[in-house]
């Protein structure tokens, strides 16, 4: 559970980020990350909010239009009263109220999974690939993303242990770009959707593969509650990087290494539906709130593809261009 000493290695030079940290056993606090230092934002008078209010990153996101210019100025000015990043514990950068997750959003990933799940009807792999590819083309043409709901209780920190439950026999990784909402969004158009995104972070959407499909009632399809929402199954962070510091979210590299070996390494260019389309689509049904997450799907290279699933002792290291690095060790649930 220790803090990694090289947290800022992947942040682009000259950029800044927002995070949640603690010192020793103290209470978590929101802070501005610049270089290898963080500034406790509770000490900044212009950001304290209403008297008696609890200041955290979600509260700052609720005032994002006024907070962002202050963060820009603080990042440019330097100043004193900052902590060394290596001295702090890093928590998930935000505690969302809602998590909207995109499934089947990278073409190669979906095809690989369909083949790996070994159809019981005996269809050959090439037939399965062709049928799934046709389905993906149809979804893209009809402009219909696939979005489901995750639980905030699955979120854990970017350097915390991932606990593999005793009942989970096929734990798998799914590194993803996550958009963080900064202004309420309800029934927004794709053209206006990114105006509601404060920034981006990294999420690893772990999955119990053996529970994805209901064997007792196949007609009801997938079971995302059991498959994805165990405690610690969503490592998040290390930071929330403002959208203005990220550039084009459709041109970022998503890389996951398992024990040092690259397993996923793909550009977000391979997404079928981009961030704007996903945020817009989710907002047609749900009112997205500040701090909510929209996960954008995972590229090819999961454990099912490699025939190598997670086990105790494995170390996952995930990066997305300009967003930092998360590193989680897998441990078995104690009896």
Q: Which domains does the chain have, with CATH numbers?
A: 7-91 (no CATH), 99-106+145-332 (3.90.850.10)
Separation of alpha carbons 282 and 118, rounded Å: 31
Please tell me what DSSP assigns to residue 87.
G
Separation of alpha carbons 246 and 193, rounded Å: 16
Q: What are 32-62's pLDDT values in tens digits?
A: 999 889 999 998 988 876 665 689 999 999 9
Backbone dihedral angles phi then psi of residue 52, each to the nearest 5 degrees: 85, -5
Q: In the prediction, which pLDDT does 52 show?
A: 59
Separation of alpha carbons 42 and 56, rounded Å: 9
Burial 267-280 (b: 16+ CB within 10 A, else e): ebebbbbbbbbbbb
Q: In the prediction, which pLDDT does 127 show?
A: 81
Q: CA torsion angle for 264, 252, 232, 272 (degrees, to 10)?
A: -80
Is 264 within 8 Å of 254 (Cβ atoms)?
Answer: yes
Is 173 within 8 Å of 302 (Cβ atoms)?
Answer: yes
Is 107 within 8 Å of 295 (Cβ atoms)?
Answer: no
Q: In the prediction, which pLDDT does 262 show?
A: 97
Separation of alpha carbons 300 and 110, rounded Å: 8
Sheet strands (E) in 130-236: 146-150, 155-156, 162-164, 171-172, 175-181, 197-204, 207-208, 234-235
Task: Identify any residues that bridge with 289 across adjacent strands, giving them in sequence order.
Answer: none
Token pair 């940290």: residue: 21
Q: Where are the alpha helices (DSSP H) in 62-123?
A: 64-77, 107-116
> Could you tell me the mean pLDDT of each successive run of 10 residues in the chain, 335 residues long?
40 89 93 92 81 84 96 84 90 98 84 67 77 78 88 98 97 98 98 98 97 84 92 98 96 97 95 96 97 96 93 97 96 87
Distance from first CA to last CA of the chain, Å, rounded? Answer: 20
In this structure, the number of other CB atoms found within 10 A of the CB of residue 132 comes to 18
Judging by DSSP bridges, how do beta strands 197-204 and 175-181 pair with one another? antiparallel
Separation of alpha carbons 47 and 202, rounded Å: 25
Separation of alpha carbons 173 and 316, rounded Å: 8
Separation of alpha carbons 215 and 187, rounded Å: 36
Backbone dihedral angles phi then psi of residue 40, each to the nearest 5 degrees: -65, 115
Can you spell out the DSSP letters for 240-305? BEEHHHH--TTS-EEEEEETTEEEEEEEGGGBSS-HHHHHHHHHTTS-B-TT-EEE----S--HHH
């Amino acid at each position: 559970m220790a803090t990694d000493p090289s947290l800022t290695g992947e942040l682009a030079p000259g950029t800044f980020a927002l995070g949640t940290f603690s010192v020793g056993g103290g209470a978590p606090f929101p802070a501005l990350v610049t270089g290898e230092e963080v500034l406790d934002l509770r000490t900044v008078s212009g950001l304290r909010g209403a008297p008696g209010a609890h200041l955290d990153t979600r509260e700052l996101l609720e005032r994002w239009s006024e907070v962002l210019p202050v963060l820009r100025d603080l990042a440019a000015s330097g100043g004193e009263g900052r902590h060394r990043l290596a001295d702090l514990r890093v928590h998930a950068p935000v505690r969302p109220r809602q998590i909207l997750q995109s499934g089947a959003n990278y073409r190669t990933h979906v095809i690989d999974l369909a083949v790996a799940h070994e159809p019981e009807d005996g269809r050959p792999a090439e037939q399965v690939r062709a049928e799934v590819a046709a389905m993906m083309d149809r979804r893209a043409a009809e402009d219909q993303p696939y979005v489901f709901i995750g639980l905030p209780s699955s979120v854990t920190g970017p350097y915390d242990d991932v606990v593999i439950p005793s009942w989970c026999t096929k734990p798998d990784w799914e590194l993803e770009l996550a958009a963080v909402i900064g202004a309420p969004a309800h029934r927004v158009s794709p053209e206006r959707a990114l105006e509601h995104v404060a920034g981006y972070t990294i999420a690893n959407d772990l999955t119990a593969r053996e529970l994805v499909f209901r064997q007792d009632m196949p007609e009801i399809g997938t079971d995302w509650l059991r498959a994805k929402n165990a405690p610690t199954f969503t490592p998040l962070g290390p930071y929330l990087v403002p959208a203005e510091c990220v550039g084009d979210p459709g041109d970022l590299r998503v890389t996951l290494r398992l024990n040092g070996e690259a397993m996923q390494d793909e550009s977000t260019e391979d997404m079928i539906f981009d961030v704007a389309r996903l945020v817009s689509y989710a907002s047609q049904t749900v009112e997205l709130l500040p701090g909510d997450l929209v996960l954008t799907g995972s590229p090819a290279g999961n454990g099912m593809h490699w025939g190598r699933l997670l086990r105790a002792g494995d170390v996952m290291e995930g990066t997305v261009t300009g967003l930092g690095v998360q590193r989680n060790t897998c441990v078995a649930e104690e009896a």
